[in-house]
Amino acid sequence: MIIAVDGPTASGKGTVAKALATHYGLPHLDTGLLYRAVGWQCARNGGNPDDPAAAFAATSFTDALLVEDELRSEATGGLASRVSVHPAVRQALFDRQRAFALQAGGAVLDGRDIGTVIAPEATAKLFVTASVEARAERRWKEMQGRGEDHSLATIEDDLRRRDERDRTRAEAPLLPAADAVILDTSALDRAAAISAAIALVEQARR
Ligand code: C5P
């Protein structure tokens, strides 16, 4: 069973994907982390994330990087969004994601193009979304918890910019697969979003 969970930043897709993985006893891959690693490595190399060659060179990051806290920052998320527009970067990360999806027993992957590009044959495809206001508020609370002080307006602007870049890029734009089910979490708390997601996967399996 392959479960594809796509959606924009702070939509709740990571929470939903992790909970589905636990519920079904499947391994989980947060594919955003791979793009974050490339963005972070590119900056560390002194490269420009908008330059395809510099971004591609950073795809040779070492796996040890994937556990670093710095990958989770807003700044790294912005770098990830910039390197992820380059087709060569997406191609370089494709095999790893595809192999994860196809492992025996199945897997849960979350990202932007899992249901459309990485695993179009997925058993269940969820497109998790929420209003930009709801997502900005969640991100703001998360950042407060980490002691990062940013205004709600700055976070909202940043989310809009990232959404726009992810949606309008030529390669693998952020779009629900034709056969994906939409889960809007704007008015749902964590527990309600998770039970709704499980119900949708159960429906898709039937
Ligand atoms: O999900 P997360 O915020 O960690 O993703 C960071 C960035 O990586 C996204 O804004 C998006 O541009 C890119 N990404 C992508 N394809 C994926 C996962 C993430 O393009 N499958």
CATH of the domain at 135: 3.40.50.300
Token duo for residue 158: 């940043």
Q: How far is the CA of 62 from the centre of ligand 1 (A)?
A: 18
The pLDDT, as a whole number, for residue 147 is 85
Q: How far is the CA of 81 from the centre of ligand 1 (A)?
A: 6
Among candidates 74, 5, 72, 8, which has minimal Cα distance to 37? 72
The residue nearest atom 2 of ligand 1, judged by CA position, is 32
- Beta strands in 14-116, from DSSP E residues, in sequence order: 28-30, 107-111
Between residues 201 and 172, the one the model is more confident about? 201
Mean pLDDT confidence for 60-68:
95
Residue type, 191: A
Q: Is 111 in the pocket of ligand 1 (CB under 6 A)?
A: yes
Query: What is the pTM for the complete model shown?
Result: 0.94
Question: Cα(168)–Cα(161) distance, rounded to whole angstroms?
Answer: 11
Token duo for residue 99: 């192999």
The pLDDT, as a whole number, for residue 150 is 87
Judged against a pLDDT cut of 90, whether residue 127 lies above it is answered with yes
Q: Is 113 in the pocket of ligand 1 (CB under 6 A)?
A: yes
**Dihedral angle computed from the Cα positions of residues 79, 120, 88 and 48, in that order, rounded to the nearest 10 degrees:** -10
Q: How far is the CA of 112 from the centre of ligand 1 (A)?
A: 6
Please give the share of the chain, as a percent, with pLDDT higher than 90.
85
The residue nearest atom 4 of ligand 1, judged by CA position, is 32
Decide: 118 and 4 in contact? Cβ < 8 Å: yes
The residue nearest atom 3 of ligand 1, judged by CA position, is 9
The pLDDT, as a whole number, for residue 61 is 96
Q: How far is the CA of 196 from the centre of ligand 1 (A)?
A: 23
Domain containing 136: what range? Answer: 2-205
- Quick: pLDDT tens for 131-145: 999 999 999 998 888
Q: Is 35 in the pocket of ligand 1 (CB under 6 A)?
A: yes
The pLDDT, as a whole number, for residue 142 is 87
Q: How far is CA 189 from CA 6, 95, 156, 199, in A?
A: 18, 35, 20, 16
The pLDDT, as a whole number, for residue 204 is 95
Question: Cα(118)–Cα(23) distance, rounded to whole angstroms?
Answer: 22
Q: Would you list the DSSP string of 131-185?
A: -HHHHHHHHHHHHHHTT----HHHHHHHHHHHHHHHHH-SSS-S---TTPEEEE-
Q: Is 76 in the pocket of ligand 1 (CB under 6 A)?
A: no
Judged against a pLDDT cut of 90, whether residue 19 lies above it is answered with yes
Domain count of the chain?
Answer: 1
Which ligand 1 atom sits closest to the C-alpha of 118? 21
Pocket test for ligand 1, best of 6, 35, 98, 127 (most atoms within 8 A of CB): 35
